[in-house]
Amino acid sequence: MKKMSEKWCVMIDVNSICYHNCTYCCKYTKHLRKDQRWSKSLAELERDLSTVLDYPGKIGLTGGDPLNNPDIEGMCNLVKRMVPKQKVVIFTSSPKIKQYKTLIDETFGEVYINMHDKAQKEVCLHQPLTLAIGDMVPDKATRDFLIDNCWCGNSWSPIIGKDRAFFCDCADGINAVLDMHGGFPIESGWWKRDISEQIEKYCDLCGMCLPYQRQTLKDGNEKFSRHLYDRFVANGNRNMDKVTIVDEVLTREQILSNMQGWKPWHNRQDRAGGEGPAYANR
């Protein structure tokens, strides 16, 4: 798997609050308890930014949804002061994009918008990451192969969560929803560290690298593998009565078959250009 320093962007969560309750959100928003919801302060964002200013790639603000932070205007002004515009990007699915468009365009070099509207829910395909590979793939050698070649781990980004940093967005999400109290201290050079311990701690609990049939958001039938379901229920997470429990295990032969035509990184079937920013500001 790629080193954190080799990835295209490092992300910073500024909250865990989103308007949507999508199935297979890597932040598990629909399953967060009320006491697991939070918003970052300006001082916390300044701390986070100070540790990634020398990151080789871009810096992104995400969440939750950044526009739901109560001081998004102050955050944008802080970003403008600390980071060159062409180095910083933002991800949002909030209707507040219209309200804050001028400020956003002054602050961010690229703007990624994914509204999860009715048209998207009809066609966009999402990976069932709640089918934990540790449950679904009993053969360790096969699991290790899939994890080492995880499309998300190799193409997405390291991230600073609420108060710790992670090699992967999905690790951040599972750490938060299950109160696992892991992650790197947020300090200079955290993104240069070895990631093997985090891989060991989180990847078996994730299904992002598991070749499996994807679903539209319209489907609404969120699939959970048995052990992961039990952990969410024991942790008191929300909306656990609206899932389908899957006890299936996959052989290496089934996995190789499932890999044919499987392109989990492509989930914007509503866009001719696929993934990428909605627009760029020069």
| Residue 38: band (very low, low, confident or very high) from pLDDT cuts 50, 70, 90 | very high
Does an H or E element contain 224, and which? strand 222-225
Query: What pLDDT shows up at residue 173?
Result: 98
pLDDT at site 210: 98
- Quickly state the pLDDT bin for 163 (edges 50, 70, 90): very high
**Tokens representing residue 97 in the block:** 């994009």
Report residue 193 CA to chain centroid gap.
20
Q: How confident is the model at residue 241 (pLDDT cuts 50, 70, 90)?
A: very high
54 Cβ contact list (under 8 Å, min separation 6): none
Q: Alpha helix locations (H) across 140-244?
A: 140-148, 151-155, 169-177, 196-202, 226-234
User: Distance between CA 256 and CA 259 in Å, rounded?
Assistant: 5
Torsion of CA 60, 66, 70, 71, to 10 degrees: 20
Cα 44 to Cα 39: distance, rounded to the nearest angstrom: 10
Structure tokens at 156: 């997405």
What pTM value is reported for the model? 0.97
Res 233 pLDDT > 80: yes
In order, the DSSP letters of 115-151 are ---HHHHHH-EE--TTS-HHHH---HHHHHHHHHT-H
Check whether 220 has a pLDDT greater than 90: no
- Token pair 């039990």 in the structure block, residue: 230
Closest listed residue to residue 110, CA positions, set 281, 271, 274, 268: 281
- Residue 257 has a pLDDT of 97
Q: Residue 23: what residue type? A: T
Q: How confident is the model at residue 273 (pLDDT cuts 50, 70, 90)?
A: confident
3-state SS, residue 196: helix
User: Would you place residue 230 in the very low, low, confident or very high pLDDT band (cuts 50, 70, 90)?
Assistant: very high
pLDDT at residue number 224? 98
Q: What single-letter amino acid sits at 26? A: C
Nearest CA among 75, 84, 86 for reference residue 13: 75
Q: Given pLDDT bands bounded at 50, 70 and 90, which one contains residue 190?
A: very high
pLDDT, average across residues 52-56: 98
Rg (CA), the chain: 18
pLDDT at 9: 98
Reported confidence tier of residue 275, pLDDT bands at 50, 70, 90: confident
Nearest alpha carbon to residue 38 among 29, 47, 46: 29
- For residue range 197-209, list pLDDT tens digits in order: 999 999 999 999 9
pLDDT tens-digit series, residues 95-149: 999 999 999 999 999 999 999 999 999 999 999 999 999 999 999 999 999 999 9
Output the pLDDT for position 272: 84
pLDDT, mean over the chain: 96
pLDDT reported for residue 258: 97
Query: Which ranges of the chain would DSSP assign to H, the alpha helix?
Result: 42-50, 72-82, 101-107, 118-123, 133-136, 140-148, 151-155, 169-177, 196-202, 226-234, 252-258
CA-based nearest residue to 270, from 125, 124, 126, 127: 124
Contact 12, 59 (CB under 8 A): yes
**pLDDT surpassing 80 at residue 253:** yes
Length of the chain equals: 282
What does the pLDDT average to over 165-185? 98
* Local structure of 222: helix, strand or coil: strand
